[in-house]
């Protein structure tokens, strides 16, 4: 009797699971799944985003068409705000934006109109360090050089990594980076480097840079001064981690916080409120995409390294960043305020 009852329960549960799977498939079948890319065309986020869009749909139940749409603005804030506030919450729109958004929320919670911990994180495509780069004729090839000579660094907005990181190094390490704002994207900063308008930029995702600008690496057109990450990239064994340069325990904690997002490079997320069944299906489809031989072959062809992180891991990292101890946040905010007297952090 117990065996018959057990089989009946298993049958009911199995039927319920199949019904949920069928419901997800029915939702996505014949649908266009919009994939918002929070950057301009031609950059590393665009490269990874379009690679992802080309393969993801074949792993989602119902095989929707995935339509990439660029939405640049404010170092990713525009696209994040759209996904959080405006985009449909039914799983029909997902996106990718700056992986440092958790840090920005931690530092300036009133300046962002979203909570990164409430997004439904699907996964991250490529764990990669961020690097400081300078042009080969700048005369600045190391952090020590940057302490002796002014280094003009291009940036998008005053609260993005290209501006914040160099100025924090000025504050903590005594470097002489001078930030010039107003560039529209990473590619425009790099073209400005080539033209001699600026000496470098302070937040470049190494894997994306290798894919988009391999000729600069091969021809030694750029210097790599420091890398932001929790471990050195195998490509850069002789380039110091920012954490390695900390002068005391508080600096080490701060440098660890601003380096933590490197484990979730090129993240993919769904808006908050998306149905759990569809989120689970998207996470499963993400995991399948990241191990798909056709996807990996295409990634290799485009020179885009794939080191994926699952959605639940990204969710934990985002949550940990925005719950950083208050005393660490206070010191970091003060440092940013002192480094950037006209920034919001200083007001």
Predicted pLDDT at 21: 64
Asked whether the domain spanning 130-261 has the same topology as the one spanning 2-127+265-322, the reply is yes
- The per-residue pLDDT for 341 is 47
Q: What is the pLDDT of residues 110-138, one digit of tens each?
A: 878 899 999 999 999 988 889 999 999 99
Give the per-residue pLDDT at 347.
27
**Taking the domains of the chain in order of start, what are their residue ranges?**
2-127+265-322, 130-261
Residue 9 has what pLDDT? Answer: 58
pLDDT of residue 267: 95
pLDDT confidence of residue 344: 38
Which fold would CATH assign to domain 130-261? D-Maltodextrin-Binding Protein; domain 2 (3.40.190)
What is the assigned CATH class of domain 2-127+265-322?
alpha beta
What whole-number distance in Å separates Cα of residue 279 and Cα of residue 287?
Answer: 12
pLDDT at 345: 35
Which single residue is written with the structure tokens 């908050």?
A: 272
**Which pLDDT score is estimated for 35?**
98
Per-position b or e across 127-152, b if 16+ CB within 10 A of its CB = bbbbbbbbbeebebeebebbeeeebb
Low-confidence ranges of the chain (pLDDT < 70): 1-21, 159, 339-347
């Amino acid at each position: 009797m117990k065996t018959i009852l057990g089989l009946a329960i298993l049958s009911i549960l199995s039927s319920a699971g199949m019904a949920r799977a069928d419901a997800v498939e029915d939702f996505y079948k014949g649908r266009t799944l919009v994939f918002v890319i929070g950057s301009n065309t031609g950059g590393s986020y665009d490269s990874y985003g379009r690679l992802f869009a080309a393969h993801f749909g074949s792993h989602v139940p119902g095989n929707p068409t995935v339509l990439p749409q660029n939405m640049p603005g404010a170092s990713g804030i525009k696209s994040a705000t759209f996904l959080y506030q405006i985009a449909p919450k039914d799983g029909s729109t997902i996106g990718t934006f700056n992986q440092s958004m958790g840090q920005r929320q931690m530092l300036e919670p009133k300046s962002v109109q979203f909570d990164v911990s409430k997004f439904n994180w699907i996964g991250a495509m490529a764990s990669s360090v961020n690097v400081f780069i300078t042009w080969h004729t700048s005369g600045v090839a190391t952090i020590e050089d940057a302490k002796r000579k002014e280094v003009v660094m291009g940036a998008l907005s005053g609260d993005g990594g290209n501006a914040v990181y160099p100025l924090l190094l000025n504050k903590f390490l005594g470097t002489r980076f001078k930030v010039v704002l107003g560039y529209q994207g990473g590619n425009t900063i790099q073209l400005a480097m080539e033209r001699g308008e600026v000496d470098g930029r302070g937040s470049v995702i190494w894997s994306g840079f290798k894919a988009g600008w391999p000729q600069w690496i091969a021809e030694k057109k750029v210097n790599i001064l420091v890398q932001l990450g929790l471990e050195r990239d195998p490509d850069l064994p002789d380039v110091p981690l920012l954490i390695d340069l900390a002068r005391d325990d508080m600096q080490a904690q701060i440098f660890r916080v601003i380096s933590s997002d490197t484990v979730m490079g090129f993240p993919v997320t769904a808006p908050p409120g998306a149905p759990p069944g569809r989120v689970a299906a998207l996470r499963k489809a993400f995991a399948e995409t990241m191990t798909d031989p056709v996807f990996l072959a295409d990634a290799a062809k485009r020179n885009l390294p794939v080191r994926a992180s699952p959605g639940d891991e990204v969710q934990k990292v985002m949550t940990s960043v925005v719950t950083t101890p208050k005393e660490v946040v206070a010191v970091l905010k003060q440092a940013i305020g002192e480094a950037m007297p006209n920034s919001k952090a200083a007001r």
